[in-house]
């Protein structure tokens, strides 16, 4: 359950709370129902205190009001929602790693696709995901749910103009590679450059021509005859993990 006013997500139930405390999610506090400082709840308290998370007690009635549709079992954590980074923060984010790489989403409007892209990007070790402010999905509750925690691990950066952002990255030495189903150059026969920006197009028309003109090269994912294209989140995942494969010492 999300609290829009306080910008937090409330998670209830012993196993869900224990799982949240075991991750690196930014937890603000652990709430226990009065009288629950015993038994298996002691391990929740120990984990919270080890992480420096405040532990407080309240009534079961209040927990019921906070989580009306959740079997909370007398425990709840408040998790700070991930935020979208500003464009001005992108340089600092990329400067924190030796070999940065970026996934750029060109007007991906379905929050479920955004969430899936974030999940794949986090799993592949992408430094940041960027997307335009307009005509694109934002970091909504639906996107965060599909991302399954990845929104806390990979920075999501909103840019004013995607083409200009790509040009700035190119000026900083990045190669921009677009996923284009009409390209005759195969992903699997292309030696991917570094540092790299992958660009994946939106659900309706794929990579826009304006965006495509800012790509240093465009590649396609070979598919069986009769299949025109993949879902953007699937295509992005294929490209990201081909990058991982090529960068592997055993590739």
Q: Using a pLDDT cut of 90, give the percent of the chain over it.
A: 65
For residue 9, the surrounding DSSP H or E stretch is strand 8-12
Mean pLDDT over all residues of the chain? 90
Of 204 and 178, the structure prediction assigns the larger pLDDT to: 178
**What six digits make up the tokens of 232?**
């953007």
Residue 40 has pLDDT above 90, yes or no: no
Residue 4 has pLDDT above 50, yes or no: no
C-alpha distance from residue 215 to each of 100, 105, 176, 248 (Å): 18, 13, 5, 24
Measured CA to CA, the distance from residue 108 to residue 118 in angstroms comes to 12
Band of pLDDT at residue 35, cut at 50, 70 and 90: confident
**Residue 226 pLDDT:** 64
Q: Residue 38's pLDDT band (boundaries 50, 70, 90)?
A: confident
Give per-residue pLDDT as tens, 22-31. Answer: 877 789 999 9
Query: Per-residue pLDDT tens for 126-173?
Result: 999 999 999 999 888 788 878 877 888 899 999 999 999 999 999 999
Rounded distance, CA 177 to CA 237, Å? 14
Q: Where are the alpha helices (DSSP H) in the chain?
A: 14-22, 41-50, 60-66, 90-94, 111-124, 141-147, 162-171, 209-212, 232-247
DSSP string of 148-190, one letter each residue:
TTGGGTS-EEEES-HHHHHHHHHHTT-EEEEE-TT-SSBGGGS
Q: 22, 47 in Cβ contact below 8 A?
A: yes
Q: How far is CA 192 from CA 89, 144, 169, 195, 233, in A?
A: 26, 30, 16, 9, 20
CB atoms inside a 10 Å sphere around CB 10: 18
Query: 58: which 2 tokens?
Result: 């309240």
Kindly report, residue by residue over 67-80, the tens digit of the pLDDT: 998 899 999 999 88
pLDDT tens for residues 95-115? 999 999 999 999 999 999 999
CA-to-CA distance for 72 and 44, rounded, in angstroms? 14
In this prediction the pTM is 0.77
In terms of Cα–Cα distance, which of 82, 54, 216 is closest to 144? 82
| Cα separation of the two ends of the chain | 43
Phi, psi angle pair for 15, to nearest 5°: -70, -40
Please give the domain boundaries of the chain with CATH numbers for all domains.
2-80 (3.30.1330.30), 85-247 (3.40.1280.10)
Please name which of 34, 35, 30, 24 lies closest in space to residue 76, comparing C-alpha atoms: 30
């Amino acid at each position: 359950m999300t609290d829009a006013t306080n910008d937090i997500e409330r998670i209830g139930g012993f196993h869900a709370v224990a799982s949240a405390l075991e991750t690196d999610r930014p937890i603000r506090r652990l709430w226990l129902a009065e009288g629950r400082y015993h038994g298996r709840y002691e391990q929740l308290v120990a984990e919270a205190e080890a992480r420096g998370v405040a532990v407080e007690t309240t009534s079961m009635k209040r927990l019921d009001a906070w989580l009306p549709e959740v079997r909370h079992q007398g425990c709840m954590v408040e998790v700070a929602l991930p935020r979208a980074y500003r464009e001005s923060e992108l340089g600092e984010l990329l400067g924190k790693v030796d070999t940065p790489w970026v996934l750029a989403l060109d007007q991906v409007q379905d929050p479920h696709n955004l969430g899936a892209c974030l999940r794949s990007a986090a799993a592949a070790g992408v430094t940041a995901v960027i997307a335009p402010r307009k005509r694109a999905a934002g970091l909504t509750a639906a996107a965060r749910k599909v991302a399954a925690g990845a929104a806390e691990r990979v920075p999501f950066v909103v840019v004013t103009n995607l083409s200009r952002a790509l040009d700035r990255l190119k000026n900083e030495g990045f190669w921009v590679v677009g996923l284009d189903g009409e390209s005759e150059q195969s992903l699997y026969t292309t030696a991917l450059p570094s540092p790299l920006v992958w660009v994946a197009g939106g659900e309706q028309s794929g990579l826009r021509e304006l965006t495509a003109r800012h790509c240093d090269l465009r590649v396609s994912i070979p598919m069986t005859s009769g299949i025109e294209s993949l879902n953007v989140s699937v295509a992005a995942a294929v490209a990201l993990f081909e990058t991982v494969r090529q960068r592997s010492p055993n590739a």
